[in-house]
Structure 1
Amino acid sequence: KYELKVLSLTGREAISQPFAFDIELVSEHPSFDLEALLHKPAFLQLAPDGRGVHGQLHRVAQGDAGKRLSRYSVTLRPQLAYLAHRFNQRIFQNLNVPSIIAQVLEEHGIQSTAYTFHLGTTYPTRDYCVQYDESDLHFIQRLCEEEGIHYHFQHSATAHTVVFGDDQTVFPRLAPVAYQQDAGLVASEPVVKRFDLRLETRTSRTTRRDYNFEIPRVTLEGDERSDALPDLEDYDYPGRFHDSQRGRHLAKRALERHRSDYQLAEGKSDQPLLLSGHFLPLTHHPKARWNDLWLLTEVLHEGKQPQVLEESITSDTTDNKDDFHQGYRNRFLATPWDVFYRPPLNHPKPRILGSQSAVVTGPEGEEIHCDEHGRVKVQFHWDREGRGDDKSSCWLRVSSSWAGARYGGIAIPRV
């Protein structure tokens, strides 16, 4: 019966980040049931052809009321944003990263129709992967960053989909947009009004090394280098791999991450179709080599339509801070189409302070349960999903107080 009309909006969306749009609304309804609105799906139309952003109402608020219109504000976010509000400590065993991510998403009601994987690499099974004192969102973003997997969103009027990928083929291509320098001239269609390119010093070589006690004489190492100068190395140990092929893969992904924004374009436009995780074909730029495909990595949206007001409900209805009073505009960051995008390491692995105690476990009825290396399995006190049996952990080495070349002692903990 009552419409909610958009008065203004600001939004930020970027590759491998949940988007957020803060929207100011007005309605003739004097008092909506805010609790009934919270978590409802909603679609924000940005373009005349009906395209826009779909999400859920993550925040709702009621503001000032005039004689006939009342003001409301909402924040539109993806389903994925809800994962930031659930924290856990648990163990995943014998699963690869895509399988772990899928399990976490489906626990939150994000079904297989709402996410998809387009991966060009087969990811190894992780014998033992721990989520420790971190939110579900932090956990899956950390896993993606470790593997070099990115994600973006695809929208329709009724749903949005999370698309996970590891190369450039997963990003859709937008219609070409012409460049027209912002000189006060009014264009007949949306254009890019500013486009600047900067180069910045980045790491040029990566090396990863690890150690496997079962093959102590083998040096496990992988490296990757670019032609860029000066020679700036990122060396890391332990690299968390068991064979050199995996080490080379991780070194390659790390170098791609370091150099993904070596060339970074910054621009402004009034084209509402620009969304992160899409290729922008730029045309009519005076620098011919810039007329190419650019991957939009971040877009900041802003829109105002004061014409929805039929009365003044506040003294500053659209929070004017410059000469932008009406319409739509955005600012964006972009990288060349042929440069692999890898998410930065913004979600580090949590660190456990000090040592932890645990209960030694094994099959029912056995007093001692170890492998040929004297390793045992345990049930950590914080693990509420383990069953206290021979599957409650991976094999763990037992620390010995006295050891050396051909001498020492060992004590096998009992179940």
Structure 2
Amino acid sequence: MGLAKELVTSNRPLRLRLDLPGGINDDMLLPQRVMGTETLCGGIDYRVLCVSGSAHLPLKQMIAVPAALDLVTDTGALRSVCGIVTEAAAGDSDGGLASYQLVLRDALAILEKRTNTRVFRDMNEVEIVQRILNEWRQKSPILGTTFAHEVDEAFAQREYPRREFTMQHNESDAAFIRRLLKRRGIGWYIRAVGDDEAPMHTLVLFNNADSLRQNAAGTVRYHRDGATEERDAITSWTAVRTLQPGVVTRHSWDYRNPQGRDFMTADAVSSVDQGVHGNELAATLDDYQVLMPHAGDDNEDLCRLGQLRMSRHDYESKCFHGEGSVRDFCAGEYFTLADHPEVDDHAEEERDFVLTALRMHAQNNLPKVLAARVERLFARSRWGTESADSLLSRDAADAVASGPLRVHVQFTAVRRGVNIVPTYDARTDLPAALMQSAIVVGPAGEEVHCDQLGRVKIRFPGTRPADHEAAGGAGASETDADSAWVRVASNWAGNGPGSLQQCGTVWLPRVGTEVLVNFLGGDPDRPVIVGQLYNQMAEPPALSEAGDLPGNRYLSGMKSREIEGIRANQLCFDDTPGEINAQLRSDHSSSELNLGFITHPRAEGQAEQRGDGAELRTDRTIAIRGAQGVLISANGQLDSKGLSLSRAELSRLAETSEHLANELSSLAEKHSEDPHEGQELSELVRRISNWDDCTDRAQASGDQGIIALSAPSGGFIGSDKTIAVSGKTKVDVMSMSDVSVSAGANLMLRAARGISMFALKIGIKLIAASGNIRIQSQNGDIEITSTKRIKLIANNDIELQAPSIKFIAQGCQVNYGGGVVTQQSTGTHTIKSSKFIHTSDGNSSTESLDLPTTKVEHDQRVLVKDFRTEAPIPNKKYKISVEDGQVIEGVTDASGLTKKFSTSIAFATYKIELLD
């Protein structure tokens, strides 16, 4: 009975309450020794060494039990430390007493045990932290009843920007929460709620140290300890200064404003006085870090992040260490120091200090004999001694064990008014974000989903739908809600400006594609796609219709696929030894360009040759256009050693043909008085000779494009239907030998003005193997001349019909007409005949001719263009002077066309003037 009475805690200065399933129990274990720590922006960790009359207490019934460690303070009130039992150990026993050790930690420390990967969309750091903590309170009955969280009164005065994408990446919930809070400069501490109902503790977030509340101790004297003292006191007080950088610089690349380099850097300067030499040296110490891209929401936010890091250095530049017996002390509260010889000289507001960390060692007041017995049990269990020595000096440990108060507190403090900022360093606080796979996602029905910058959205396969229910599934929904826009790395991305003047490649990963994701700056909130990956469901594309890998491993290239279809476009390089070729192909109309060793589709690395050289083919149409001209040549140019417009053979042939045409034209002008019209041909030959493959020189010449065809061994143009050859100015047909024109039906030559035929030597034959030969002049004369004879020979008749006919020979003439025949000669008129019959008069009549006449009116219309740009000139006044004497004036229409005008001369020439 005596031992049981000694183990009752109700009259002890150190008590332990456990919130067991049957209710609060404060006598199951008697705490004899307590060693623990509390830190601002950290948590609580208390090790409680207990004794009990029972050696058979089940340890597992104590795990995860809410507990309150109560210390009776100097005012008789209770100062509680509340937490959750995370470790229970049974120590040695002596038959009457048993020893136990419990470890109390806060809920945030317990969240270290849960590791997760999840995504948060459009939330700031505080909202994310609150969501995680609320989820824990909802799904865990223990945390729901023993843990709470809140923000201090001043928290609402500052807003935090929402982040499009935040990812917890293989991090414990606690590490993730701390990372978010530390990055934003948000502090926290654990506040105990030690009422009799249930031990509770609260995680308090603060962003202004001035809002921290005053400690229950209020004003604490700097004084020695003693049993006769009524109040706890501080017995040791020291100040520490540490040299810190005087400048903080942060750089963060902003791809949304690449020209605004000045807005990618933030500077902050220390406001702390570190002494003459300290200030001088600190000014040269620049904490410069290159952060992940877009570290801040904007430049103002980046400056705020830089200032937070500077505030942390200022915070670490000076602190105070103290010791004493103040049982009310709690991290995250401030007290006033009194009766200190140096501090009392400061202004009143500079005597307040915020507790940032403390270490406590306390011991219960068991009777000496019982206490020694308990200590032996602790020693045999190897508890406490080493830990106590690590926390306190030997003198302090002895003071706790034998002193009057049995409580010793070591603490660290900063002067109230100092900005308290948690330490954050991206180099150490970010998790190890290694490359991993993700799946491209998009809205339903979209096969390619991107924004103006070519960014896509992804889903990390490791995210679990259950974690994202509160966000409507965003983060694990297989939709475009799963991430922010993510940039896609390219092997070539130009420097702009704009998209129309940009250079580079565009290969957007399609919805459902597996992509390889890295993280810029090692930050899991900054994913970037660095590649695309094949997998078992998405194998590498077959670049041949007849086979795929590994048989066709010598084929390389790229292949796209029609959106919502199966057709493709591809560029294939075949590097098969001795059979290399390249193919550019589109399944639309089976259009393809084949170069090199042309084969049928390759299967298992084998293919049958079907050509050699180059092939351009399609089931539809092919157009070849060259603004400065098109050269089609069958003349060889081995190994492409010449210029692209090498045409020596063609130029020589053109010049020879021009010489032939000019020679014959000159002869025709002499013999038939045909005008010499070789200017157009000469101009064409000149342009062929001077054809330049340098675009700048060609444009400077002002010449328009020409087309030229050349072949050393002949050429052929054929069609099952019509072939037309047309020239707006002139058509020249030349041959150094013969020109043959053959027609299976009719050969028709038509000219709007005239037809002239000239043969220099052998003459002209006009023969009809059958049928008639008709020669008509429907509005003029027919004149046949010869320097020698004119013979008219017929097997039947020769008829000459006209109203009058005249035969003239040297010295004689015969006239027929009007019923009269007149013969005359200068010499003898001889008539030889076997018979001469002269009867009465007779008569004859000629056939009347009703030949068609045509008054031709030719319509013309002119397109007015700028000779440099070839662009039509609309709404421009003009005057046209036609060779038939007409003068037409008007204004071009919106398409640059004049109004129609008619001339009696076919293809009449004209001069057009543009008027101002």
Q: TM-score, normalized by length of structure 2? A: 0.43
Aligned residues between the structures: 413
- Cα distance per residue 1:175-221 (max 9 Å; x no partner): 11000157x89634211000000111012121223232222221323
Q: Does the 8 A contact of 1:89 with 1:383 survive in 2?
A: yes
Q: Is 1:117 matched up with 2:151?
A: yes
Q: Is the 8 A contact 2:309 2:424 kept in 1?
A: no
Report the Cα distance in structure 2 between the residues aligned to 1:369 and 1:15, rounded to whole angstroms.
Answer: 46
1:69 to 68, 74, 97: 97
Pairing 1:237-276 to 2, within 5 Å after superposition: 237-238=290-291, 240-276=295-331
The answer to whether residue 55 in structure 2 is matched with residue 30 in structure 1 is: yes
Provide the residue aligned with 2:408 in structure 1. 329
For residues 182-331 of structure 1, the aligned pairs below 5 Å read: 187-219=229-261, 220=263, 221-227=265-271, 228=273, 229=279, 230-231=282-283, 232-238=285-291, 240-287=295-342, 288-289=344-345, 292-305=351-364, 307=366, 310=370, 312-313=373-374, 315=376, 317=378, 319=385, 322=394, 323-324=398-399, 325-326=401-402, 327-331=406-410
1:152 to 176, 189, 206: 189
Query: How far did residue 384 of structure 1 move?
Result: 2.9
Residue 393 (structure 1) aligns with = 483
In 2, Cα distance between equivalents of 1:372 and 1:264: 52
Superposed CA deviations along residues 296-318 of structure 1, whole A, max 9, x for unmatched, are: 11000001225166372553646
Structure 1 residues 375 and 4, CA gap change in structure 2 (3 angstroms) = same
Please give the per-residue CA displacement for 1:364-412, whole angstroms capped at 9, x wherever unaligned. 1211111111111112232334121111111111111123243222112
Amino acid at match of 1:343: P
What is the identity percentage for the equivalent residue pairs of Structure 1 and Structure 2?
A: 26
Deviates more, 1:292-301 or 1:360-369: 360-369
Contact 2:45-2:104 at 8 Å conserved across structures: yes
* Structure 1: segments with no counterpart, 5+ residues: none
Q: Distance in 1 between matches of 2:375 and 2:258?
A: 73
Residue 93 of structure 1: SS of its match in structure 2? strand
Could you tell me how far apart the structure 2 residues matched to 1:69 and 1:304 are? 17
Cα distance between partner residues in 1 of 2:204 and 2:429: 23
Distance 2:297 2:193 in 1: 43
CA contact (8 A) 1:114 1:162 kept: yes
| 2:249 corresponds to 1:168 | no
Identify the structure with bigger relative contact order (alpha carbons < 8 Å, sequence gap 6+). Answer: 1
Select between 6-15 and 168-177 the one with higher mean Cα deviation: 168-177
Cα distance between partner residues in 2 of 1:332 and 1:271: 10
The structure that is helix-richer by fraction is 2
Alignment-mate amino acid for residue 225 of structure 1: V
Q: Is the 8 A contact 1:65 1:313 kept in 2?
A: no
Q: TM-score, normalised by structure 1?
A: 0.93
User: What's the secondary structure of 1:94's corresponding residue?
Assistant: strand
Measure, in 2, the Cα distance between the counterparts of 1:206 and 1:15: 24
* Counterpart residue number, 2:32: 7
What is the identity, as a one-letter code, of the residue corresponding to 1:340? Answer: N
Which deviates the most, 102-111 or 86-95? 102-111
Identify which range, 203-212 or 267-276, moves more after superposition: 203-212
Select between 199-208 and 216-225 the one with higher mean Cα deviation. 216-225
Letter in 2 for 1:86: R
- How many angstroms apart in 2 are the aligned matches of 1:148 and 1:181? 38
SS in 2 for 1:67: coil
**Alignment correspondent of 1:180:** 223
The CA deviation at 1:134 is: 1.2
Larger radius of gyration: 2
Q: Which of the numbers 355, 364, 372 marks the counterpart of 2:444?
A: 364
Query: Which 4+ runs in 1 deviate beyond 4 A?
Result: 110-113
CA RMSD of aligned residues (A): 2.2
Give, in angstroms, the shift of residue 128 of structure 1. 0.5
Q: Distance in 1 between matches of 2:209 and 2:319?
A: 16
Once residues 399 and 41 of structure 1 are traced to their aligned partners in structure 2, the CA distance between those partners, rounded to angstroms, is 51
Match of 2:165 in 1: 128
Q: Determine which structure has the larger strand proportion and give its number.
A: 1
Structure 1 Cα separation of the partners of residues 440 and 257 of structure 2? 27
Distance 1:256 1:314 in 2: 46
Does 381-390 or 155-164 show the bigger shift?
A: 381-390
Where structure 2 has 5 or more consecutive residues not aligned to the other structure, the ranges are 1-24, 138-142, 274-278, 379-383, 466-475, 496-501, 512-916
Deviation at 1:330, TM superposition (A): 0.7
Deviations 1:251-274 (A, max 9, x none): 111111111121110110111111
Q: Rate the CA distance shift 1:30–1:402 in 2: closer, same or farther, 3 A.
A: closer
Contact kept in structure 2, 1:361 and 1:379, CA below 8 Å: yes
Deviates more, 1:192-201 or 1:226-235: 226-235
Aligned partners of 2:210 and 2:417 also within 8 Å: no
Alpha-carbon distance in structure 1 between the residues aligned to 2:320 and 2:482? 49
User: Equivalents in 2 of 1:359, 1:272: separation in Å?
Assistant: 56
Inter-partner Cα distance in structure 2 for 1:316 and 1:389: 62
